Copies of this chain bind each other. A is one copy, B any other.
Amino acid sequence: MARTAGTETPRERYRAQVRAEVKERAWGQIAAAGASALSLNAIARQMGMSGPALYRYFGSRDELITELIRDAYRSLADAVRAADGDVASLAHALRAWALADPHRYFLLYGTPVPGYHAPDDITAIASEIMARLLDAFAALPGGDAETPFDAHLAEHREWADGHPAPPPALRRALAFWTRLHGALSLELAGHFAGMGFDPALLFAAELESLGD
B196 contacts A157, C-beta separation under 8 Å: yes
18 contacts between A and B (CB under 8 A): A33-B114, A109-B191, A112-B189, A149-B202, A149-B208, A152-B201, A156-B195, A159-B194, A159-B197, A174-B202, A175-B205, A178-B183, A178-B186, A178-B206, A180-B182, A181-B182, A209-B212, A212-B212
A209 to B7, CA, bound (A): 56
B191 contacts A186, C-beta separation under 8 Å: no
Chain A, range 148-186, C-beta contacts under 8 Å to B? 148-149, 152-153, 156-159, 171, 174-175, 177-183, 185-186
Is A96 positioned at the interface, with any CB of B under 8 Å from its CB? no
Is A37 positioned at the interface, with any CB of B under 8 Å from its CB? yes
The quantity of this chain's copies bound in the complex is 2
Partner of A149, one of B110, B114, B156, B201: B201
Is A62 positioned at the interface, with any CB of B under 8 Å from its CB? no
Residues in chain A within 8 A of chain B (CB atoms)? 32-37, 106, 109-115, 147-149, 152-153, 156-159, 171, 174-175, 177-183, 185-186, 189-191, 194-198, 201-202, 204-206, 208-209, 212
Given that A114-B34, A186-B181 are known contacts, is A204 also in contact with B149, CB under 8 Å in the complex? yes
Partner of A156, one of B157, B178, B197: B197
A121 to B115, CA, bound (A): 33
A158 to B194, CA, bound (A): 9
Given that A153-B197, A197-B153, A209-B212 are known contacts, is A186 also in contact with B177, CB under 8 Å in the complex? yes
A190 contact set on B, CB distance < 8 A? 112
* In the complex, residue of chain B having the shortest beta-carbon distance to the beta carbon of A197: B156
A177 contact set on B, CB distance < 8 A? 182, 186
